[in-house]
Structure 1
Amino acid sequence: MKLKHCSMTLLFFISLTLFPYLIQSQTCQRTCGKQPIKYPFGTGPGCGDPRFQTHITCSQDQLTFSTHTGCYPVTSIDYTNQVLYITDPSMSTCSCTQPSKGFSLDWDAPFSFHDDNTFALLDCSTTSSPIYKTNPGNNSTATVPLCDTNGAAVCSLLFSCQAVSRLDTPVATCCVYTPVDLGPSFEMDLQKLQCTSYSGIYGFGGKNDDPGSWQYGVALKYKFNYNNEFPTNCENCERSNGACGYSGTYNSFVCNCPSGLNTTTDCFFAASWNHGLVLLPWQTGIDLCFVSSA
């Protein structure tokens, strides 16, 4: 006759052994729309790096970057060079010119501006804007722009675009800045600067004389940590087809696995567990039992 026995001792042993490795399940998507999602970014709470959580979100298959000035679609991510590319719907380009309030980063955002960025401030007041100053020499009232003189060609080419030419303002009201001019905090408040719009360019595509082919948007650099070292535990997690995440009061590392389990190591462990004893007592509330013969 076969008797069914419930072994609380075995249950206790397995709980003590596996509790540090298997924790409450949570799903982290590996993509947002067509955009692959890797560390340090995530698709929801508990996914990716917590420092990036408030700045990068995924909703309705669209990855979005947020600051105090607005929300901006993420067009692509260069994980090799750690660069995030975004677009600003209010930005002026060669094909469309519109008023804008500007663009700024949050002071605590783990991002900085890529050196390839070029910002052209458009339709700025040459008489009252703080980016222009009066030439003190010879009691002159002429104004001198505090702009990057090497960027004058960018302004001229932008004004050759039909959309920008509709501003009906002189090229002299265009002022080019680069991140090194604006400083690491970078606050582009167009109302304060008395400019009506701006263009952001992060690449010229080898066609420096063709503004219609330029890459418009903003390129942002990010770092993993102070030393910019990719976390070893996250590397092992992604190698096992998992997604890096965090959990608990102290945002401890977890590896979210395709099987639906979260582990503190990698998904190789979760796969072996998932193919062995399927029921997890602390998740299902079912006692672990075995069958023996008498």
Structure 2
Amino acid sequence: MHLQCLMINLSLLLLLLLPLPFLLSADSPVNACRSFCGNLTIDYPFSTRRGCGHSAFRDLLFCIEETLMLHIPSGSYRVLDIDYPYQSLTLHDSSMSTCASLIRDGKANGFVVERWRSHFLHPAPDNVFMLIGCKPNSPLFQGFPSKNLPCLRNASVGGGVGCEDYYACPAWEFGPGGGGAAAAPECCAVGFEAVRAINLSRLECEGYSSAYSLAPVKVSGPNDWLYGIRVDYSVPGGYEFCRACEATGGACGHDDSVGVGKGDDGSGDICFCQGWNSTSNCDAVDSSGAVRRISTMNAIFTGFLAGVFIMPIISLGGAMS
């Protein structure tokens, strides 16, 4: 009789303790890929963790001593802001000229992104690049690639950002140089769409500046321009997969074994669920047809409970029989 009551009580205790491993498990999958760097939140489609985020943005962002950096072929840029609702990033290049400082050592990054990634990561239409000290035989003036590319005096995009106003900056203390009508202008303002790559070596320029506007904000002059590179991004295939994944408690990632530039149409999307991965969402069953597998920690914990409570009961029952 005492043995029967003991078994009932311990069985009830075991049932009460079984949910514990699920409560004690690590961060829920929906937060597994979200991270922070300094004061910036890194979330889908970006990630600093391998396998997380969309494959189109893999190996792009790196957190170095609490500073978020974006790395592309032209160099590394500090990420000042990620605007998820408007799908844009604001970048800073320390070797870029501003209104207060003119850098003409030819070592600035410019902006060149991988061809396969350029379809969904590129400077915003309202971003104007002002190329400085380009040689007369630069492709800018000799035809790019087969026709002359006129420099914009004051660009129609970017809220009037252009070289004519830029010359009024303190950085141009003595104003632009002369040289006559045949000489190349000291500054040539272009939109990114016109050249597709701000490669200073190829364009034979000594430096550059970049400024953008945030409509409908209007500024009075170059001192008030927003200096930096405003980059727009888009997600190949859209957000439908990730929304469905997160709605069922999963975290959005990709198959890291797929080669770079492949699967960027979303075909390599993965939803990280509690203890297993899905190619749809966490309400689906895994590839073996089984319901969600219990995590290793849950299995160990359950085995521990069985060893602590059930085995003594069996031993006690054997001793009393």
TM-fit CA distance, 1:207: 4.3
One of 30, 43, 49 as aligned partner of 2:54: 49
- Mapping of 1:85-164 within 5 angstroms? 85-99=90-104, 100-109=108-117, 110-125=120-135, 127-133=136-142, 146-151=150-155, 154-164=162-172
- Asked if 2 retains the 8 angstrom alpha-carbon contact of 1:123 and 1:167, the reply is no
Amino acid at match of 1:281: A
1:223 and 2:234 matched? yes
Deviations 1:159-185 (A, max 9, x none): 111123368635932111012322xxx
Match of 1:174 among 184, 187, 209: 187
Cα distance, 1:36–1:234 mapped onto 2, change above 3 Å: farther
8 Å CA contact 1:207–1:213 kept in 2: the answer is no
Matches within 5 A, 1:279-290: 279-281=297-299, 286=303, 289=306
Between 58-67 and 206-215, the greater mean CA deviation after superposition: 206-215
Cα distance between partner residues in 1 of 2:166 and 2:212? 14
Cα distance between partner residues in 1 of 2:295 and 2:126: 53
Match of 1:254 among 271, 276, 290: 271
Q: Is the 8 A contact 2:176 2:186 kept in 1?
A: no
Matches within 5 A, 1:69-80: 69-80=74-85
- In the alignment, the residues of structure 2 paired with residue 248 and residue 150 of structure 1 have an alpha-carbon distance, to the nearest angstrom, of 45
- Residues 163 and 150 of structure 1, relative CA distance in 2, 3 Å threshold: closer
* Conservation of the 8 A alpha-carbon contact between 2:69 and 2:78: yes
Secondary structure of the 1:163 match is coil
CA distance in 1, matches of 2:170, 2:70: 30
Q: In the alignment, is residue 192 of structure 1 matched against residue 202 of structure 2?
A: yes
Higher percent of residues as strand = 1
**For the Cα contact (< 8 Å) 2:127–2:210, is it kept in 1?**
yes
Root mean square deviation of aligned Cα: 4.0
Classify the secondary structure of the residue corresponding to 2:133: strand
| Match of residue 211 from structure 1 | 222
Contact kept? 1:76, 1:84, Cα under 8 Å: yes
Cα deviation 1:252-293 (Å, max 9, x = unaligned): 523478xxx6765569xxxxx9xx9994227x7956627456
CA contact (8 A) 1:224 1:230 kept: no
The structural deviation recorded for 1:64 is: 1.4
User: CA 1:33–1:58 in 2, change beyond 3 Å: closer, same or farther?
Assistant: same
SS in structure 2 opposite 1:148?
Answer: coil
Q: Match of 2:212?
A: 202
Change (3 A) 1:213 1:248: closer
Return the alpha-carbon distance in structure 2 between the equivalents of residues 288 and 71 of structure 1.
Answer: 52
Shift of 1:112: 2.2
Provide the secondary structure at the position in 2 that maps to 1:245. strand
TM-score normalized with structure 1 length = 0.69
Provide the C-alpha distance between the structure 2 equivalents of 1:123 and 1:277, rounded to a whole number of angstroms. 61
Pick closer, same or farther for the CA change 1:131–1:226 going to 2, 3 Å: same
Q: Is the 8 A contact 1:119 1:199 kept in 2?
A: yes
SS of 1:131's equivalent? helix
Q: How far apart, in 1, do the equivalents of 2:214 and 2:244 lie?
A: 38
State the SS of the aligned residue for 1:172.
Answer: coil
Structure 2 spans left out of the alignment, 5+ residues: 8-21, 179-183, 259-267, 284-291
**CA distances 1:217-274 after superposition (whole Å, capped 9, x unpaired):** 112221122456563334426xx5x6533457565523478xxx6765569xxxxx9x
* Helix, strand or coil at the partner of 2:172: helix
| Greater relative contact order structure (CA < 8 Å, 6+ sep) | 1
2 CA distance for matches of 1:256 and 1:210?
A: 52
SS class of match (2:100): coil
CA contact (8 A) 2:46 2:57 kept: yes
> Unaligned 5+ residue runs, structure 1?
4-17, 135-143, 268-272
1:120·1:174 contact (CA, 8 Å) conserved in 2?
Answer: yes
Q: In the comparison of the two structures, how many residue pairs are matched?
A: 250
Larger radius of gyration: 2
2:80 counterpart SS class = strand
